[in-house]
Structure 1
Amino acid sequence: MRDGWSDQRMDPADMGLRAHEIIENAEQFELTGRTDYGSGTNLATASANIDGTRQILAELTSLLVPRDAGLAQLDASLDRAQQDLDARHHGGTWTPLAELTRAQRERVNADFGDLLERLAPVAAIFEVRRTA
């Protein structure tokens, strides 16, 4: 993603929505294990999704600061989710989703649910409003 990001084309007006959708897809596909197929890499992919969301938010920061009073809480929520995922990353391997304890899985799910709530205003801020 790092190498190809500068070549990607995206409507700037869609970037706020994309930040939300990345985390939404992680919750829907990675944290449910629907895309695992035995690889045990769902948490690694969820971590990459947090990285992608951070990249988009970095591009939007100057526009968000005056419009989103919850930006500091969003950053803290991203950090918390990343820390919880990083705790499942040991020496180059990730704990497979199926091996998480119930408490660990609930915590990761709660992290991503919180992220979705905190990203909703970001998507709304950049939603094009039509007047006609």
Structure 2
Amino acid sequence: MELHLKIIGALLIGLAFLHAGFPSYFNWATEFKPLSLINRQMMYVHTLFIALLVLLSGLLCLNFAPELVQTHLGRVVCLGMGIFWLVRLVVQFAGYSPLLWRGKTFETTVHSVFSLFWLYLTVVFLRIYWQ
């Protein structure tokens, strides 16, 4: 399981840095213009903090895999992370309309890859807790 945590750590760090491209890729400068200043800034700030949390989670997995697997506190942390990623997996299907991805090759690929990623994270973290 430690190897899986190290793989997850590296992937989460990559995902955290991927967030830096969101404003440009999703054209936030134009898309958010009609929003009030507070709503516009909340999107940027929340994205920053999500990216920071994902980065720190990745660093935790990468640098403290043995402790996460072998200690009670580590397993409880994994339970929390497993629940977090399980909820994220559910939101992948319940929070986004299929109209955003169905029938579109790139979007369907991204949806599928991230669904499998959220499933992988969920299974690994919950399995560590229940071992």
Shorter-chain TM-score range: 0.3 to 0.5
TM-score by length of 2: 0.41
Higher radius of gyration, 1 or 2? 2
TM-score in terms of structure 1 length: 0.41
- The structure with the largest helix share of the pair is 2
Q: Which has the higher contact order (CA 8 A, sep 6+)?
A: 1
